[in-house]
Amino acid sequence: MKGYKVITLTTFLIESQAEFPYAKGELTRLLYHVMVAAKMVNKKVNKAGLVDIIGEAGEVNVQGEDQKKLDVFANDQFIAALRSSGECCGIASEENQEIITFDDDLSRDGNYIFCMDPLDGSSNIDVNVSIGTIFSIYRRISPRGERAVLDDFLQPGTKQVAAGYIIYGSSTMLVYTTGRGVFGFTLDPSIGEFCLSHHDIKTPEDGTIYSINEGNAHEFPEGIKKYVAYCKDIDKPTHRPYSARYIGSLVSDFHRNLLKGGIFLYPHTEKNPEGKLRLLYECNPIAFLAEQAGGKASTGSHRIMEIKPHSLHQRVSIITGSLHMVEKAEAFIKEQEPIKLN
């Protein structure tokens, strides 16, 4: 199209840096290396059916889940990219029991720590369903030049300086925020660049989609059961019943609802009384994105980003998506029993 200007992620990051008077280019360089790792993982994901990369890696991660080969590959790629950036002093990954720190002086002087789920939805790898990477970035609180410590990672989500995800699907997208709105970039394979495709994403305040694993319905808290029944109500066909859409990949479910309007619920159950999803790697970054897009994220009774983490692999309940839908779910929960603050 005549006059159409393609804006790459690299260009956008450099131009956006001017919005932060204190910025020295450190976060821009870090996000650039995230982009590089995303491209590497994308190549492997696209070849997953052609090479010996799908399937089990033969190990179990800290969550007690079988690691897939692509899980391990993605984890290694992001760790290598973040280390080479020189801006990251430490990493917390779903795949590793402890935090990862580096010995070289350059990394120790890095100002940021990085939390990630390197490959969300990995149970869907072998059946060619969309999967993704979720990440969250904080400024360190320990002195620069020293090793990162656990306290650097146990910060509430309100302290995030950036968060985002990469979704590997029919097209590959990187969606991120630095607290100035949410922006989406789609990978153009012909030039090998992420190009701006979704400017200042705003999620609808209402939607017609609800996403929850109803296979666990018998274990849901009473308030969640009543909200799901409300979603299915046929008494007011102008607005309901809502459409049930559940992929089983947080990135995929959240991404669809972010753009179309909807709600994603993963409450605590009898089997997982603290909740299932991880606060640092999944819930905090998703909550940051949801709020920046005009949506909401809570446990059902507390704002996700205000929770002070007490452990690296802490799990919580989460309800996130369109503002009015989340508020309605919270109202049902309040009438019954509050979801426990983890």
The answer to whether 123 is annotated as binding is yes
Q: Which domains can be identified in the chain, with CATH numbers? A: 9-198 (3.30.540.10), 209-335 (3.40.190.80)
What is the predicted pLDDT for the residue at 341? 45
121 is in an annotated binding site: yes
- Separation between Cα atoms, residue 342 and residue 330, nearest integer Å: 16
94 labelled ligand-binding: yes
What is the rounded CA–CA span in Å between residue 342 and residue 274?
Answer: 6
**N residues, the chain:** 342
Residue 52 annotated as part of some ligand binding site: no
Structure-token pair, residue 30: 């870090």
11-37 b/e with 16+ CB inside 10 Å = b? ebbeebeeeeeeeeebbbbbbbbbbbb
Question: Per the annotation, does 236 bind a ligand?
Answer: no
pLDDT at 129: 82
pLDDT value, residue 339: 45
pLDDT at 291 (0 to 100): 98
Q: Is 168 annotated as a binding residue?
A: no
98 is in an annotated binding site: no
CA pair distance 41, 195, nearest whole angstrom = 18
Report the alpha-carbon distance of residue 319 to residue 62 in Å, rounded.
24
pLDDT profile of the chain (342 residues), mean per 10: 75 81 79 95 80 66 70 94 93 95 83 95 78 96 94 98 94 96 96 95 96 94 94 70 92 97 96 94 98 98 97 97 97 76 46
